[in-house]
Structure 1
């Protein structure tokens, strides 16, 4: 009883008493440093006129651009954007599986050299942003959808490989132990226990990655990687704000539909 009371009423250290104040001071110092590094140069004289033009264009979009049969309209390029995102995600999902097994830690691995090297590889792959990869692939294979698919595929390998490996590390081993105790071999364990356990989570992560890829594919076109981003950057450069408005509206509708469908599918899987 005396030991418990002495532990409860023991004097706290200086760090325990003033820890919250130290953290507040650190956060304030970081925000102050960040804000003082910004140099506000003011607004240009044409800012009001440009803002009004942008607002009018967004409120009155160019509905004729939705479909005109040219193959370069909003409907055609939206489908192309979805195709880039879908193909890039599917390719990366298959390639990410061996990377995931490479990077996942197991109970029998002593020094984690194998999984450590796999995690480093996935980190290196994720280091390059998609837009940088798109610019590099445009130089290698030329502008167009192919460069966009390659950029999304490579970047998605790093993301999905990391998520898949974490799923393997945290999966329920009960089914594997049951088949092992029944005398099953490694092939049977993998086919009857490992795959059925991790497959729903793998598909869920792939759907989530597809949602992100749709947004990325909409932007990659601005550097020439195909999709809806190409006409959007041209419309911005020429100040065709009604065209920008209808393109943004199309992107919003596309993203909302993909998010809704993907969410419904993930609910059924998990």
Structure 2
């Protein structure tokens, strides 16, 4: 009898969840005004497609520093520096946000989680625009935007890794009379380091994509020439830039995945 009641309750619970999802879905559709497809959509789409099929190969490298390879290298540099900055800044915030006790309310952890959530609330594009106003347009603004935004995400991932780590080695060292510094150096750091490196590599993959977009608002990288190519309707250059971004992302994802598998 109890089993039958439990089964009926589970079914009712899933029906309620499904009904709520459908209601939210319908509400979302009704809340977005559909203005229709522009008359020029087909011609523009065909022009972009032709540009991808017939890219401007001379733009790949011409030694000017404004060519595709140079801009892709700048994009990778922006993503790499931003990720490294965020990885170092995230570690102390992660230990602040990590809840290492089972108390219902943990003031230190709550403060850390609020800080990380507040940082994640600002999209990278918004941060890029703010930093452009502070330091001027260019790659430096892109590095700062990616670095600050990535702190929120890496800090969250790092704190979860700290919370879920195996603490048996820590307990053994403390029982043997080890200090906090010795415990951190011998037990804590070696235990969580593979997870931290894996999360950092994963974030680098995301940062590469983000760095490609930030140039559209003037934060340096491949996005800047792509914006000019789109504005001037230079579809051949747009095509080679899109192909370059795709190849770059595939190579980075493949290498990063291989490294993360070895770490994991």
Same structural fold, with TM-score higher than 0.5 when normalized by the shorter chain: yes
Residue segments in structure 2 that go unaligned for 5+ positions in a row: none
Deviation for aligned residue 1:44: 3.1
Choose 1 or 2 for highest CA Rg. 1
The residue aligned with 1:46 is 40
- Output aligned runs, 1:209-224, within 5 Å: 209-224=203-218
The residue aligned with 1:127 is 121
Deviation for aligned residue 1:84: 0.4
Deviation for aligned residue 1:188: 1.1
- Output aligned runs, 1:59-138, within 5 Å: 59-107=53-101, 111-138=105-132
Deviation for aligned residue 1:29: 2.4
The residue aligned with 2:195 is 201
User: How big is each residue's C-alpha offset from its partner over 1:63-86, in whole Å with a ceiling of 9 and x where there is no partner?
Assistant: 111001100000000000000000
Q: 2:159 aligns with which of 162, 165, 168?
A: 165
Superposition TM-score, scaled by structure 1 size: 0.91
Alpha-carbon distance in 2 for matches of 1:247, 1:16: 52
Deviation for aligned residue 1:52: 2.0
Alpha-carbon distance in 2 for matches of 1:91, 1:241: 36
Alpha-carbon distance in 1 for matches of 2:94, 2:109: 9
Q: 1:12 to 1:75 in 2, by over 3 A?
A: closer
The residue aligned with 2:136 is 142
How many residue pairs get aligned? The number is 264
Deviation for aligned residue 1:51: 2.4
The residue aligned with 2:224 is 230
Deviation for aligned residue 1:260: 0.8
Greater shift in the superposed pair: 130-139 or 90-99: 90-99
RMSD: 2.0
Q: 1:154 aligns with which of 148, 151, 157?
A: 148
Deviation for aligned residue 1:26: 2.8
Deviation for aligned residue 1:211: 0.5
